[in-house]
Amino acid sequence: MSSKRILIVGGSGSWGNELARQLLLTTNDSITIFSRNEYQQVKMQRKFNNDRLKFVIGDVRDYESVNLACYSVDIVFLLSALKHVPICEEQPDEAIKTNIIGTQNVIKACINQNVYRCIDVSSDKACSANTLYGATKFIGEKLIINANKYEKTIFTCIRSGNVLGTNGSVVPLFIDQIKKNNQMTITDRLMTRYFLSLPEAINLLLTAMNAPAGSLLVMKMPSCTIGDLAETLKDLYGDKNTSMQEIGIRPSEKKHETLISSEETPVCYIYNSDYYVIYPEKLGLQKVKFKEYTSNNQILLTKPEIKDMLDRGGFLI
């Protein structure tokens, strides 16, 4: 297929904007943005001003609207999700409707409309999940991988860490706190998290377009302590009077994140120099040698390396 028809479900957010930007630059594909946020769609339309980009109002919870949007589509990217951990804890029914039932709706629509491939976006919080959000994404992964048994659509999945600059990201939150109050509130200085830039996250998505059916791709990501990240941002945006208040870890929040669990390593392989793949069948690839892949069992980024990461993410003033 030289020119494809692409549907981005939940495509009016930061991921969808960057994915659309890269596709418009590098392909001749026609792209449809499916989301329920009409204001964000209008902003995208004005921003890109490109006839190859179309917009459809709809909700992933509504099977009929998803099924209609999938008509005559080649590739579907599933980006929609409720992602804010405390909100999902407080309103589990809503998280289930979007993150689980919505995923089921996309799977059914893809199969019904003979979509060639569907790529789902998951989260490191799906691995060894201990929150409602993480649990819904874990179930979403299982639904996507299991859907390959129908042999009509190729279903693959990616598992991502924290993406710099996306909605709810800690980096713009810290910057905003410094500018407004000259103070940052951090949970735990020694907490570690994976970080990647938005373009890197989209590259992971695009790599999944060619991955084997049933595979779950994981990027090799750098990690750092929240304390070092906060201090780097203080140096960039604050002054000698900028303070950091440590407020403690929230209920159910992990001190360290896991991207690949010890239960998954027996079926985890080195996909290439940048990615691992979790796949239940032999690929003829080299097996990984670690017991699990967590944000604190690797060499952490130094402050200069964090600064370089923020520069690549567009956060340097």
CA within 13 Å, CB half, 130: 10
Task: Verify whether residue 125 is a known catalytic residue.
Answer: yes
Indicate if the pLDDT at residue 279 is higher than 70: yes
User: Other C-beta atoms within 10 Å of 151: how many?
Assistant: 9
Q: By the 8 A CB rule, do 6 and 72 touch? A: no
Q: Count CA atoms closer than 13 A to 106's CA, side-chain side.
A: 35
How much is the mean pLDDT over the chain?
93
pTM for the predicted model, two decimal places = 0.92
* Residue scoring higher pLDDT (122 or 198): 122
> Is pLDDT of 139 > 70?
yes
More confident residue, 251 or 95: 95
The pLDDT of residue 64 is above 80: yes
Lowest mean pLDDT among 165-179, 214-228, 265-279: 165-179
Crossing angle of helices 14-26 and 38-48, in 10° steps, is 30
Q: In whole angstroms, give the CA distance from residue 133 to residue 126.
A: 8
Query: 5-160 falls under which CATH superfamily?
Result: NAD(P)-binding Rossmann-like Domain (3.40.50.720)
Over residues 71-100, the mean pLDDT reads 95
Q: Report residue 186 as tokens.
A: 């951090």
How confident is the model at residue 280, as a pLDDT?
Answer: 78
Per-residue pLDDT for 281 more than 90?
no
Identify the bridge partners of residue 217 per DSSP, sorted by sequence position: 158, 277
Distance CA 243, CA 96 (A): 38
What does the pLDDT read at residue 30? 97
Q: Which of 47, 83, 108, 125 is catalytic?
A: 125
Mean pLDDT of 228-253: 91
Handedness of CA 109, 112, 114, 116 (dihedral sign): positive
- Give the percent of the chain with pLDDT over 90: 81
What share of the chain has pLDDT > 70, as a percent? 98
pLDDT-derived band of residue 140, with 50, 70 and 90 as boundaries? Answer: very high
Q: What is the pLDDT of residue 316?
A: 77
User: How far is 238 from 204, CA to CA, in rounded Å?
Assistant: 33
To the nearest 10°, the Cα dihedral for 191, 197, 203, 207? 0
Q: Is the pLDDT of residue 308 over 60?
A: yes
User: Per-residue pLDDT for 99 more than 70?
Assistant: yes
Give CA angle at 137 (55, 209), nearest 5°. 55
Per-residue pLDDT tens for 166-199? 766 789 899 999 999 999 999 999 999 998 888 8
Q: In this predicted structure, what is the pLDDT of residue 317?
A: 64
pLDDT at 1 over 70: no
Tell whether the model's pLDDT for residue 277 goes beyond 60.
yes
Q: In degrees to the nearest 10, what's the CA dihedral of 17, 19, 25, 31?
A: -90
Range among 27-31, 285-289, 297-301, 312-316 with highest mean pLDDT value: 27-31
17 vs 166: which has the higher pLDDT: 17
